[in-house]
């Protein structure tokens, strides 16, 4: 484990979830009330569910996060959601720079950095995603790509604020395959070094989450890896029965 205060297990529901899915969130909260977890637990549902989930889970151990935000606080940006709006709806965290947004919407490190600034402005805790593609890994560039993303996506304003970095190798997202323990450790150690290079002392405490095909069966082994301070979980976070054993793997 890392030297961060408390590991974070966050579920990214991506574009999944209707009102009926709130029952899964409630089941998770009830299980954690009956038996508290060592980890912090968060769910990041689609924006349409944030307010309802926040009300339903008020007072529970489950924190709520958004999946993206616009850098501006308000304005003529049809279809977009600001950090302030997420916070107003009850979110406390926000995922930024997910590879699906970097690839699908051309989000650059500079844009992600601006979004991190917006999250901090709104009092949200950013979870900043980095990760190499398969082609980059095969070219031997995984560590260099990820270190550059850390340096470019984190404004110095995060120093002293709660935030985390999620290492999500793009080739492992939704693929069912995960890197070897050695590959995870190599990149997490490099992320820590990049954080310290960028932020000094403040780079030492942030949790570095692993994401990409985390399942109940592999979570415990991943959590033991040096500099792994939690997980960002996609598909396996949609059902409480799958997510709970991952939460308890810490
Ligand atoms: P999966 O857990 O479905 O591979 O997704 C990982 C992810 O992208 C979380 O943000």
The pLDDT tens digits of the residues spanning 144-184 come to 999 999 999 999 999 999 999 999 999 999 999 999 999 99
Q: What is the CATH number of domain 8-247?
A: 3.20.20.70
**Residue range 94-123: mean pLDDT, rounded:** 98
Please determine, for residue 123, whether its predicted confidence score (pLDDT) is greater than 70: yes
Separation between Cα atoms, residue 171 and residue 146, nearest integer Å = 14
Closest ligand 1 atom number to CA of residue 172: 4
Asked whether the beta carbons of 164 and 128 are under 8 A apart, the reply is yes
Say what the pLDDT of residue 160 is: 94
Global confidence as pTM:
0.97
Going by pLDDT thresholds of 50, 70 and 90, the confidence category of residue 5 is low
Please determine, for residue 1, whether its predicted confidence score (pLDDT) is greater than 80: no
75 Cα to the center of ligand 1, angstroms: 31
Closest ligand 1 atom number to CA of residue 173: 4
Burial of 157 (0-12, 13-18, 19+ CB in 10 A): middle
Catalytic residue status for 98: yes
Question: Residue for token digits 């579920």?
Answer: 11
Separation between Cα atoms, residue 142 and residue 189, nearest integer Å = 12
Domain ranges of the chain: 8-247
Say what the pLDDT of residue 4 is: 52
């Amino acid at each position: 484990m890392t030297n961060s205060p408390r590991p974070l297990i966050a579920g990214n529901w991506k574009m999944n979830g209707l009102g009926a899915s709130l029952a899964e969130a409630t089941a998770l909260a009830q299980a954690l009330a009956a038996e508290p977890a060592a980890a912090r637990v968060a769910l990041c549902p689609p924006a349409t569910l944030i307010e309802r989930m926040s009300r339903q889970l008020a007072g529970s151990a489950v924190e709520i996060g958004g999946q993206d935000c616009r850098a501006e606080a308000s304005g003529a940006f049809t279809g977009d959601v600001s950090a302030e709006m997420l916070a107003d709806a009850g979110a406390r965290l926000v995922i930024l720079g997910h590879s699906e947004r970097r690839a699908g919407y051309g989000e650059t490190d500079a844009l992600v950095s601006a979004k991190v600034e917006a999250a901090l402005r709104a009092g949200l805790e950013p979870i900043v995603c980095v990760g190499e593609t398969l082609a980059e890994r095969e070219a031997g560039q995984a560590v260099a790509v990820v270190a550059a993303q850390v340096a470019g996506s984190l404004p110095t304003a995060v120093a002293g604020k709660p935030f985390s970095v999620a290492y999500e190798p793009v080739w492992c997202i939704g693929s069912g395959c995960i890197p070897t323990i050695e590959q995870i450790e190599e990149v997490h150690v490099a992320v820590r070094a990049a954080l310290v290079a960028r932020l000094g002392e403040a780079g030492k405490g942030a949790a570095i989450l692993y994401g990409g095909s985390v399942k109940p069966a592999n979570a415990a082994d991943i959590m033991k890896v040096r500099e792994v301070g939690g997980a960002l979980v996609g598909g396996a976070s949609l059902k409480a029965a799958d997510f709970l054993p991952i939460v308890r793997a810490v």
